[in-house]
Structure 1
Amino acid sequence: MAEWCADHLRSCAAWKEAGLELSTTSDENAKLLDGAIRQLVSWSDCTVLGGFHETLVGMTAADPDGIMSRTFIVALTGLGTEAAARDPTFAESMDKLEKDAEQYGNTREKRHVRAAVLWGRGKHHEAADEWDRIIDDYPTDLMAVKFSHDAHFFNGNCVGKKNAVEKVINKWDKDLPCYSYLHGMYAFGLEECGLYGDAEKEADLALSLNRFDCWASHAKAHVLEMNGRHKEGKEFMYKTEDDWRQGWMIATHNYWHTALFHIEIAEYEPALEIFDREVANRFNRSHSLLDMVDASSLLWRLELEGVKVGKERWRKIENLGKYIDNHAIVFNDVHMGVALYRQEELETERKLRESLEKYSSLHSEDNCQISKLIGLPLYDGMLNYARSEYDSAAETMFPIRDKVVQIGGSHAQRDVFVQTLIQSCIMSKDQKNWSLTPQLLIERETMKHDSQLGQRLAEKFRRMHPL
């Protein structure tokens, strides 16, 4: 897969000719950096280069002091949410990179270092702004485009995510490597802004240029879900499965989308089979927190539908205890909390909650304030629901429902919180809570059209609270 990415990798001279000069004098480092960026954008391995991880190893070995290659790894680590500013090793690598960049990095590299380190230290909005400014001046800087797109995703900034690609896409030569992937990225930004027709056109264009663009497949899945075209979405994902599953970095998430189409039309067994066969197994190989979110979210949604998923499935989301002090983004913490509770790892869940509260009292990172104002109430609301404390869940989550976008993720991902709030209100014994349900159902239908799941929630409400 993605063998094309090894073609015509740029040497130091080629990077300079493209207006993107590197300070390294190692052509091997320069070429493998090019290959690494291409693999990241395509979410897949280039077997010619030995795959993404081997490319990073070779890139570092070729020039351990290379500024841009080290910056790539720092930004990748931070945006991958696996490490945060409080990780001593990560913090040390950022400090050294800053000093070295100041000593021998060029102007563009210093700006990249600034953005990557800002993100790594928790200044997420400043980092996104810096990557945006870089692509204003260097529109063909794919590394900046990719990281800007991802940063806006984690910041919950759908307009920024769209604009980051929109302002450069017409400045690219169509023969440049990865040009087609810009259309898939643009499609996702358009979808998150509610521009579903334009988003689908861009996704289809991207796939016509490269059917293996698994991010474009992902963007189209979002459009089909938000438009209520669930059977069509399910058919699309299965029809193209052999194309998008090659992108191992996002395959778990695309399987999650496939399962969501099943859940929407009340096909629960296929969704469980996808969890068992794909989602759980892939998480246990990757131990990626992004995969953890998909696994936790999928089981929780099935339980909201009344499916008994079983404790053993929850326990397949393994070794969560080592992440309880991470707090890179609170989106992860909330999903981790419900998983630990369902695993009956109550002491670990308590420690996670205490750690999150302590972290939220800091003021050094953007996520601290988001965790304090939105993350903690959302966490508590989800756990209240898990404990069948429906009144508390509704009263905790309702006031922040319009602010949850700030924790990042997509509309489709955050729908798990919307569903939980609606279920909390329906199950509440207090009229002031359950009477909020019609309003919440309308709000969800406005965002997610023709949702059969929404219709089931409305029927449940009418059944439990007849006029």
Structure 2
Amino acid sequence: MAALRDCKAWQDAGLVLSTSSNEACKLFDAVLTQYATWTNNESLGGIEGCLSKLKAADPNFTMGHVLANGLELIGTGRSVRLDRELGSAVTAMVALSKAQPLTERERLHVSALDVFARGQLPKACELWEQILQSHPTDLLALKFSHDTYFYLGYQRQMRDSVARVYPFWTPDVPLSSYVKGYYSFGLVETNLYDRAEKVAHEALAINQTDAWSVHTIAHVNEMKAEVEKGLKFMKETEKNWKSSDMLACHNYWHWALYYIEKGEYEAALTIYDKHIAPVCLASGSILDIVDNCSMLYRLHLEGVKLGDRWNDLLGVTKKHTKDHILLFNDVHYLMSFLGAKDHKTTEELLTTLQELARAPHEDHQLSLAPHLGLPLCQAFVEFENGNCDKAVDLLYPIRYELVQVGGSDAQRDVFSLLLIHAALNSKSEAKRNLARCLLHERDLLRPKSPMTERLIRKAAAVHSMA
């Protein structure tokens, strides 16, 4: 790993940091490096360890506060609406910035986080883009915007934001190969699969432990239903990415999806029990929680018996019932409540979301709740209650708008599968015909998909019985 940058090195890179502490600058670099590479690096002291040392090195270093608060906010497990301590930290950061002679770039960073904290995610991205126009190698602005575009479902922006600065990330710039990984993910989410795979392999040729580039290739194989290729790739590269503690669970989730696609449920559950569930229970990371909920729900749709797994997961998801930070997270927590048959918590999630959606607010996600978030959640509830017709009526009209709840195409596929299963199990002939049409559509998008073939056979059987 390259030497951590001190005050002068940041200045030489055109990214002045307003502190006289070389130690603070190096620790800032250490945290940024771990965030950019999705790994808590023990030799650096882990993100939490470095952040506490960073605060001690210079308590008034504004960009240190930006980094610490930004990582909390971008993790989507806490928000200033719910968490007084985080709210105070953001307020203190803004006050500190006003009392210091900062650079324009640093001021924009503070403003971006301030609006992000209030739920104005698109506005935060505009401010990060402003930074990148004059400082294209500002990795913090690039990564914060990349992750936020992902939450917004802004697929082209996620790709193009990186494309605009890509030529500046020459091999001599620290962490430049990881920027290839970010770009490759933007390409995969805009269906440019061959280019995505090529760029991801370029990144891996420079650094084989780049778990995000592995993740891009996992997406390519998932979206093309190239199951055997996907299984082979994950197995061959596992040793390189399994120590990336922030992303390993998600990469194992992709691995398990190939087995669900094949109908090899025991193999999928083995990965779940060994690499996904224990990590989620230990980390409490929202990405890990979402993966757990999503995977069990896919297996549930396939009719797999899940034993106590839903109840085990409930211990992690229940504390987030009233969060309503991202609709994408809400609907995944809901899957676990429904799976565990916890009617009281299900009702609590829906009523608190309805109340928040009615109140006046500036929060981008909550503005989507009335016409997207609530119908999506209600469709899951209706399906579990056996009201398949109602589930289809709720889900079908919004299917092309669901990209706005964020996540990746692979993650949102669970909504498409719910619609297909609801239509297949409907009492209405028209809706069963819709199921067949949706399966034809899926078959052309993912040729030779074993799951689609299974569902087409099921649809034919349902049709012949009707």
Question: TM class by shorter-chain length?
Answer: over 0.9
Partner amino acid, structure 2, of 1:270: A
Q: 2:127 aligns with which of 120, 126, 130?
A: 130
**Paired residues for 1:304-319 under 5 Å:** 304-319=301-316
* Aligned 8 A contact 1:280 1:317 in 2: no
Looking at structure 2, the residues matched to 361 and 418 of structure 1 have their Cα atoms a distance apart, in angstroms, of 28
Residue aligning to 1:208 = 205
Looking at structure 2, the residues matched to 170 and 235 of structure 1 have their Cα atoms a distance apart, in angstroms, of 33
Give the secondary structure class of the aligned counterpart of 1:249: coil
Q: 1:322 aligns with which of 308, 315, 319?
A: 319
The structural deviation recorded for 1:431 is: 2.1
2:209 matches 1:199: no
2:61 matches 1:66: yes
Partner amino acid, structure 1, of 2:412: R
Give the secondary structure class of the aligned counterpart of 2:77: coil
- Provide the TM-score with structure 1 as the length reference: 0.96
Unaligned runs of 5+ in 1: none
Looking at structure 2, the residues matched to 202 and 291 of structure 1 have their Cα atoms a distance apart, in angstroms, of 26
CA RMSD of aligned residues (A): 1.4
- Per the alignment, do residues 317 and 211 of structure 1 end up closer, same or farther by CA in structure 2, a change over 3 Å counting? farther
Equivalent pairs, count: 462
Residue aligning to 2:368 = 370
Unaligned runs of 5+ in 2: none
Give a deviation string over 1:77-123, Cα, whole Å, max 9, x none.
11110112302222222122112112213211110111112112100
Looking at structure 2, the residues matched to 121 and 344 of structure 1 have their Cα atoms a distance apart, in angstroms, of 33
Residue aligning to 1:174 = 171
Residue aligning to 1:224 = 221
Instruction: Among all aligned residue pairs of Structure 1 and Structure 2, give the percentage whose two residues are the same amino acid.
Output: 37
The structural deviation recorded for 1:426 is: 0.4
The structural deviation recorded for 1:377 is: 0.5
Residue aligning to 1:97 = 93
Residue aligning to 2:401 = 403
- Provide the TM-score with structure 2 as the length reference: 0.96
Looking at structure 2, the residues matched to 18 and 129 of structure 1 have their Cα atoms a distance apart, in angstroms, of 23
Partner amino acid, structure 2, of 1:240: T
Residue aligning to 1:357 = 354
Partner amino acid, structure 1, of 2:86: F
**Paired residues for 1:378-457 under 5 Å:** 378-457=376-455
Residue aligning to 1:185 = 182
- Per the alignment, do residues 107 and 40 of structure 1 end up closer, same or farther by CA in structure 2, a change over 3 Å counting? same
Give the secondary structure class of the aligned counterpart of 1:248: coil
- Per the alignment, do residues 313 and 365 of structure 1 end up closer, same or farther by CA in structure 2, a change over 3 Å counting? closer
- Per the alignment, do residues 157 and 447 of structure 1 end up closer, same or farther by CA in structure 2, a change over 3 Å counting? farther
The structural deviation recorded for 1:264 is: 0.7
Residue aligning to 1:115 = 112
Looking at structure 2, the residues matched to 414 and 146 of structure 1 have their Cα atoms a distance apart, in angstroms, of 22
Partner amino acid, structure 2, of 1:416: V
* Aligned 8 A contact 1:32 1:59 in 2: yes
Residue aligning to 1:52 = 47
**Which deviates more, 406-415 or 320-329?**
320-329
* Aligned 8 A contact 1:74 1:117 in 2: no
Give a deviation string over 1:177-222, Cα, whole Å, max 9, x none.
2111111111110000000010000011111110000000000000
Partner amino acid, structure 1, of 2:303: G
* Aligned 8 A contact 1:338 1:386 in 2: no
Looking at structure 1, the residues matched to 445 and 50 of structure 2 have their Cα atoms a distance apart, in angstroms, of 41
**Which deviates more, 376-385 or 92-101?**
92-101
Partner amino acid, structure 2, of 1:381: A
Give a deviation string over 1:41-95, Cα, whole Å, max 9, x none.
1111222221222111111221122111111122211111011230222222212
The structural deviation recorded for 1:439 is: 2.8
The list of structure 1 runs, each at least 4 consecutive aligned residues, that deviate by more than 4 angstroms after superposition, is none
Residue aligning to 2:103 = 106
Give the secondary structure class of the aligned counterpart of 1:453: helix
**Which deviates more, 386-395 or 253-262?**
386-395
Residue aligning to 1:75 = 70
Looking at structure 2, the residues matched to 344 and 436 of structure 1 have their Cα atoms a distance apart, in angstroms, of 29
* Aligned 8 A contact 2:424 2:459 in 1: yes
